[in-house]
Structure 1
Amino acid sequence: MKFFRKIRQKLFTESKFSKYLIYAIGEIILVVIGILIALTINNYNQNQLIKAKEQKYLKGLKEEFQTSKLKLTELMDVNKNNYEGAKQIIVSITKNDPPTEIEFSQLIYKTFSFDISFNPNNSLLSEMINSGSLKDVNNNVLRRRLTNWLSTLEDISKQESELGNQREKVLDLLRSDEYSLRTILDLTDIYKQVDLPKGENHISNLDLLNSKEFENNVLMFILTSYATQKAHYQPLMDEIDSIISLIDTEIKNEG
């Protein structure tokens, strides 16, 4: 800078104003170019940092959704087993071919013991949404899918709640004085797992097969389970696959 200042002073003292003016303008242009280059470099560095941050988020999101997919796969298997077991009960009622007490106890336990609740991994996605970092995801379609994910889970939760209500209606019949949960626990050996003494006098639950209320509740359970599987879980699985595919595309594009 001292070098340029000396040149300016020399030109000015020698009354070479036109040359001084041209030189001054040239110097201003050089300064502007320097600033623009610096801004370009700074913007490039900022963009690289944003891209690196996005890639870190994308890889983390992929792990989360892959874990959620595994959880949903297991849950769908449980739900399918539940309504398949309920269908066996209805078949026994329809064909008037009752199972033995042990078979019925095992069928009841297998069908109605496991509650259904999808618990996906959302810690990173929630952090991104709360911190405003979701904007760092460049793909508009992927960003929209991620934004809608949590609201989709709310719909799933409502369906699972309805399914739980239908399950409870079946189990409520077993809580009455006419029937016995003790019989089911004893004949399926569950009493050993929960460290309970085995009962001696078992009340038969087979009369449930003659109960229209029981049949109606089981049928409602089947319908709700099936709807949960086909109208909620399967589309959710498709959405997970779609999100993972979009994430993979963004990771490959950057690579």
Structure 2
Amino acid sequence: MLKFFRKIRKGLVEERKISNYILYAIGEIVLVVIGILIALAIDNANEQHIKREKEQVYLVGLKKEFETSQTKLKNLIAVNKKSYEDSKKIIGFMQDQENLPNEEELSNLLYNALAFDISYNPNNSLLEEMINSGSLKDLSNPNLRVLLTNWISNIEDITKQEAMLDHERDQIITMFRRNGNSIKTIYDLTGVSGDLGLPVGKEQLSNLHLLQSTEFENNLLMFILTSITTETLHYTPLMQSMNEILATINGEIKE
């Protein structure tokens, strides 16, 4: 086409039709500009397509991570609840000395209350990679970017709360390291000794006297308070935040 226009231009110059030549020159410039704009539009469309494909890969990956993290949190909430509910049962026995549990029942309650660390470890590898590489900006939904940024901050707060809960648990466990109290009894009567390949004693040292200990009661009450606070003020809001993140991600994923 350009060759055709050049041929016309040559004819116009030879015929000295200057005004027509000027119009032709302008037309040729416009044609070139239009060609450039079309090329830029195509490049921009290709770039946007690549960005959207990249975003979809991130969204699918984030969805899998948060679904796994959601399952972990549900399980952790259940463990924490079992822990403080059995601790509350022990407090109940301490308030009713006429109906004390037997040694095996107390051992099971103590094991359920104190044996399991409460520590949330979400799957954040992809999210952290996106933040560190600056790829979080590739997500087109600004609300999702805010939610993901706040998520990291919330996890840091929960880690601090879990450290407080771990401290309260250690206060109780420390009491079993003293003479007169027996971790071995708990192990023997809950089956842990057998699981660990440890010999089961023929007689067990009783821990029932702890139900009359004010120190034990105080430590257990602080543990219960911290456990319930961890659930209501941290885990429950975190679960709500996770549900919102997953709903937003699902809304952005193209089927």
The unaligned stretches of length 5 or more in structure 1 are none
SS in 2 for 1:114: coil
1:196 aligns with 2:207: no
Amino-acid identity (%): 53
Tell me the distance in 2 between the aligned counterparts of 1:200 and 1:100.
Answer: 17
Q: How does 1:16-95 map to 2 (within 5 A)?
A: 16-95=17-96
What amino acid is the match of 1:184?
A: I
Deviant stretches of 4+, over 4 Å: none
1:164 aligns with 2:205: no
Task: Compute the RMSD of aligned alpha carbons.
Answer: 1.1
Tell me the distance in 2 between the aligned counterparts of 1:171 and 1:99.
Answer: 20
1:6: Cα distance to partner? Answer: 2.5
Aligned to 1:148: 150
1:213 aligns with 2:215: yes
Between 8-17 and 72-81, report the one with greater CA deviation: 8-17
1:182 aligns with 2:177: no
Tell me the distance in 1 between the aligned counterparts of 2:80 and 2:204.
Answer: 29
SS in 1 for 2:127: helix
Tell me the distance in 2 between the aligned counterparts of 1:225 and 1:167.
Answer: 10
Q: How does 1:107-118 map to 2 (within 5 A)?
A: 107-118=109-120
The unaligned stretches of length 5 or more in structure 2 are none
What amino acid is the match of 1:19?
A: N
Tell me the distance in 2 between the aligned counterparts of 1:100 and 1:155.
Answer: 40
TM-score, structure 1 normalization: 0.96
Tell me the distance in 1 between the aligned counterparts of 2:197 and 2:8.
Answer: 97
Q: Deviations over 1:214-234 (max 9, x none)?
A: 000000010000001111000
What amino acid is the match of 1:111?
A: A
Tell me the distance in 1 between the aligned counterparts of 2:13 and 2:127.
Answer: 64
TM-score, structure 2 normalization: 0.96
Q: Kindly tell me the number of residue pairs found equivalent between the two proteins.
A: 253
Aligned to 1:248: 250
1:201: Cα distance to partner? Answer: 4.2
SS in 2 for 1:118: coil
Between 47-56 and 152-161, report the one with greater CA deviation: 47-56
Tell me the distance in 2 between the aligned counterparts of 1:12 and 1:118.
Answer: 82
Aligned to 1:229: 231
What amino acid is the match of 2:228?
A: Y
